[in-house]
Amino acid sequence: FYFIIIFLFFSYFVSGVCGKPELADNTVPVSDLSHNIGASIRIQCAKGYVRKAGTSSLIRCTQQQNHNASWHSELPLKCIRKSCLLQRYLTPGHGMSAPCFLP
């Protein structure tokens, strides 16, 4: 009986579980409470924001050397405000663009 309890206790800590990931600025909260080691999830940017080029929305639950589980990303997500270009034509065939920002 004690062997089973020790095995279950050891299995829980070796396998590990990641809790909810910490939120980066301008991201949407993750609904799931926990994930096992090896699980990958994608974080979404909040409405009006997009993923900055060169960053990744993918994070992975990994086991650290101390056997604790934590979220890891090679290229941490950064969400930036969406932008658009307004085209104004001063003369036919010649355009000018100006940045605008969505609310």
CATH number for 77: 2.20.28.230
pLDDT of residue 50: 92
Q: For 44-79, how does the pLDDT look when each residue is reduced to its tens digit (9 = 90+)? A: 999 989 999 999 999 999 998 888 899 999 899 999
Count how many Cα atoms sit within 13 Å of the Cα of residue 7 in the half-sphere of its side chain: 4
* Whether residue 6 has pLDDT greater than 70: no
Whether the Cβ atoms of residue 54 and residue 74 lie closer than 8 Å to each other: no
Query: From CA 63, how far away is CA 16, in angstroms rounded?
Result: 7
Question: Half-sphere exposure (CA, 13 Å, Cβ side) for 92?
Answer: 0
Top-confidence residue, 14 or 84: 84
**52: domain range?**
2-101
Q: What is the pLDDT at residue 93?
A: 53
The percentage of residues in the chain with a pLDDT greater than 90, rounded to a whole number, is 45
- Tell me what pLDDT residue 84 has: 60
In the chain, the number of structural domains is 1
With 70 as the cut, is the pLDDT of residue 90 above it?
no
pLDDT digits (tens, 9 = 90+) for 38-47: 999 999 999 9
The string of DSSP letters for 7-44 reads HHHHHHHHH-EE-SPPPPTTBPPP--S-EETT-EEEPP
